[in-house]
Amino acid sequence: MESPRADVELQVSEADLHVQAGLCESSAGLLAGNTGPTEARSSVLASSAAVNAAHLQIAAAGIRCASRMQATATKLAIGSTGYGQNEASSAAQFRSMSRVLV
């Protein structure tokens, strides 16, 4: 499947990558801080064990999601640094080229 905007040029800056990394890190913190409801303690409800198991699975999914968001934030921050270094190196190479007069 092809993206409808496949011909559009992607423009990225080092600062934008840092901002996105910060947003991912913030989202990871929010996800990690979420907790499920407290365990149901009623012995009258036969399904309380199933509800508790579901809450544990939801909490585990939240932890996995927060971990992935944190990993994405780290990758974006590393990518931003590499991107900035590459841009600086390319600019220095252009500056060092001798001018050709026509």
8 Å CB contact between 36 and 58:
yes
DSSP 8-state class, residue 44: S
- How high is the pLDDT of residue 43? 54
pLDDT tens digit sequence for 7-61: 667 677 888 888 888 888 888 888 877 766 665 555 556 577 788 888 888 888 8
pLDDT at residue 1 in the model:
45
Three-class secondary structure of residue 18 per DSSP: helix
pTM of the model: 0.54
